[in-house]
Amino acid sequence: MAFSIPLIFGCQKTYYITKSTFFTPLPCKKNAKRSIFADAPPLKVMKPHIPEQLSSAQWQDWHWQLSHAYRSLDQLAAPLGWSPEQLQPHRAAAERYQPIVTPFYLSLAQSNSPDDPILRQCLPLPQELEDTTADLDPLSESDQSVLPRMVHRYRDRVLFFATGACALHCRHCMRKRFWDGPCLPAPTDSELTAAVQYLREHPEVREILISGGDPLTLGDDTLQRILTALATVPTIEMFRLGTRTLAALPQRFTPALCNILEHCGKTVWIASHFNHPDELSPEAAEAVLRLMKAGVPTVNQTVLLKGINDDADTLRRLFTGLLRMRVKPYYLYHGDPVRGTTCFRTGLQTGLDILADFRSHVSGMAVPTYSFDLPEGGGKIRLEPSFQCGTTPDGTPVFLKIDGHPVEYH
């Protein structure tokens, strides 16, 4: 239905607005950032507090990175150079939601300011405790679990929790409920047997999303045991491994791991999680190339985060940077209303405005699908900005061109 107010765009025709479809370009942030690309200005990387005798081989060892991860606010104080007074506002959040940060991920930070986009993703924030009413499991994963480790929401795919462990406790984590109590260990043989039996009884399932936690924090033998068991189901076509390790622990992608993924008997995709261009390290680029040589493609899922990446320029640099690193931007998620994370939510319109800003100067290959999950396990909703600005009196649709002027489409 058209409104009665006509809009005239410096021309002789009148168009009638049917919905609000005008987007204001968002301001760009011009901060210089570390980049893997040659045209970016070189910046000194902040190094964590590491013993001087540490060798390059140790730094590149993923076992060393995990065993030396910072697991308390006091451990983070030294590399950050923070005083007890600076730590104090963060203590309560750290006690409620434990930090875990690999030395490598901390080294990506450009400063020791809590507003640094790297630190803001891994340091406990007082705002996390302001939300006391949001649900711990708003997507009802527990209710839709067919087994203790398996969620079956969509007909053709299941979610399998391989572990509760992570290399990085992201402050916006949708499964912060996993942080309470003992960490979910790797599955037992009996749990894998039950999973295989369920999948054999449901031949409509063709894909397994293996997540957690982060399945790539598991050792090679354990991961291979899981993949080998699940691969015995003939109707399963592919595995998708959801992981933050490309950003937080790229050392994990050893030749041995890539060999396991290449020869596990099923097609394997990596679903990575980069949220900011500062995370696009040379080590991550090398890991992606190693995966490609093993026949394992990578897509990326980004969460839209207030104060971290909620502007068009930051996401443009992230998504085009991912493409240059041979990673396809797949999803841009609006944050879920999970308790302890709502301080990072932006509102749906922010994402739509950013995608609208991309229209004239970002390749479609670099633009992910903008999506959010309905509560109670209701599934994903995909959103796009609409550029239909109205209709002519005879009903012809009218769209906005990239220069903002209307054009009829017959």
Pull the structure tokens for residue 35.
Answer: 């980049």
What pLDDT, on a 0 to 100 scale, did the predictor assign at position 35? Answer: 39
Q: Is residue 157 annotated as part of the catalytic site, yes or no? A: yes
Q: Which of 318, 365, 311, 370 is nearest to 34 (CA)?
A: 318
Q: Is residue 328 annotated as part of the catalytic site, yes or no? A: no
What pLDDT, on a 0 to 100 scale, did the predictor assign at position 8? Answer: 30
Given the residues 33, 34, 149, 175, the one annotated as active site: 175
Identify the three-state secondary structure at position 392: coil
What pLDDT, on a 0 to 100 scale, did the predictor assign at position 53? Answer: 66
Pull the structure tokens for residue 369.
Answer: 């699908």
Q: Which helix (H) or strand (E) holds 139?
A: none
Identify the three-state secondary structure at position 230: helix
Asked if 183 and 214 count as a contact pair (C-beta separation under 8 A), the reply is: no
d(CA 55, CA 32): 29
Given the residues 70, 97, 173, 333, the one annotated as active site: 173
- Residue 153 has phi, psi (to 5 degrees) of -100, -50
d(CA 334, CA 303): 6
What pLDDT, on a 0 to 100 scale, did the predictor assign at position 181? Answer: 85
Angle at 388 between CA 386 and CA 391, to 5 degrees: 155
Asked if 40 and 31 count as a contact pair (C-beta separation under 8 A), the reply is: no
What pLDDT, on a 0 to 100 scale, did the predictor assign at position 143? Answer: 95
Question: Which residues, 6 or more positions from 334, have their beta carbon under 8 angstroms from its beta carbon?
Answer: 304, 345, 346, 348, 351, 370, 371, 372
Q: How many residues does the chain have?
A: 410
Given the residues 157, 240, 244, 345, the one annotated as active site: 157
Q: Which of 201, 176, 190, 34 is nearest to 111 (CA)?
A: 34
Angle at 330 between CA 244 and CA 253, to 5 degrees: 35
Q: Is residue 389 annotated as part of the catalytic site, yes or no? A: no
Q: Which of 172, 171, 176 is nearest to 334 (CA)?
A: 172
Domain with CATH 3.20.20.70 in the chain: 145-383
Q: Is residue 373 annotated as part of the catalytic site, yes or no? A: yes
Beta strand spans in 215-339 (E) = 238-242, 267-272, 298-304, 328-334
What pLDDT, on a 0 to 100 scale, did the predictor assign at position 54? Answer: 77
What pLDDT, on a 0 to 100 scale, did the predictor assign at position 335? Answer: 96
Q: Which helix (H) or strand (E) holds 284?
A: helix 282-293
Task: Evaluate whether the domain defined by 145-383 bears CATH number 3.20.20.70.
Answer: yes
Q: Is residue 180 annotated as part of the catalytic site, yes or no? A: no
Asked if 131 and 180 count as a contact pair (C-beta separation under 8 A), the reply is: no
Given the residues 336, 339, 343, 370, the one annotated as active site: 336
**Tens of each residue's pLDDT in the chain, 410 residues:** 333 323 333 333 333 333 333 223 333 343 434 433 333 333 333 444 555 567 889 999 999 999 999 999 999 998 998 889 999 999 999 999 999 999 999 999 999 999 999 999 999 999 999 988 999 999 999 999 999 999 999 999 999 999 999 999 999 999 999 998 899 999 999 999 999 999 999 999 999 999 999 999 999 999 999 999 999 999 999 999 999 999 999 999 999 999 999 999 999 999 999 999 999 999 999 999 999 999 999 999 999 999 999 999 999 999 999 999 999 999 999 999 999 999 999 999 999 999 999 999 999 999 999 999 999 999 999 999 999 999 999 999 999 999 999 999 99
Q: Is residue 28 annotated as part of the catalytic site, yes or no? A: no
Q: Is residue 154 annotated as part of the catalytic site, yes or no? A: yes
Given the residues 34, 120, 149, 153, the one annotated as active site: 153
Name the pTM for this structure. 0.87
